[in-house]
Structure 1
């Protein structure tokens, strides 16, 4: 039986995988909010930097690949290492959450992204997972 923290983090891992797939296959190079944040128009950006969108496509492919990888590893840690209360698992999940979903959420709030409230959810879910892990008894997992 997987502990609640493992289930929460497994959901976080799946979310990261799906977000990575979105970045690789579906996300446009520039969202409508991007030129708005820069104080310009999409047309002006295309004129000033004709290869920007093509280059950003490559950047988002790499970023999406890292998201998929991080999500897969998060799911592995959730199912195997958190359940076993392996030394270092809590630290690894704390650092991973801080530099992935928490940083992403904070940055989207700083940018006043149209998606900032939606992107707060994974950070809150990650915090819930950490909280669950800390509250769970340190008894051996039941099979």
Structure 2
């Protein structure tokens, strides 16, 4: 029980951090400037744009890991493997989906490889969801007519 709670809490927090990196984090934080000694006004806009893409990529992986941990945690708590399948599927899609998007945005020379990883993640997600649906059929109740 405790392992499920801790894993779920850690997953939720990681998902929150990932969301912050994806959507809210400024390109440079005050500690970034202090640590590097860089004057941000001297940096070219293209560098700052690239750095924003890098942090969003990290955010995608952190969020994907958080989703995976949530799936594991909920599985530990509920003892239903459905959440393991769905959490893994969603986690790999978020992580590798953001990774391929970032590489498209920067015109990466390694896009072919990153796209291959995404296609594998997509295939895995499809297999996991199909398996989950087959192993965990939805309970249907027929409503009375009238």
TM-score (norm 1): 0.50
TM-score, structure 2 as length reference: 0.49
Higher RCO structure (Cα 8 Å, ≥6 apart)? 1
The structure that has the greater radius of gyration is: 2
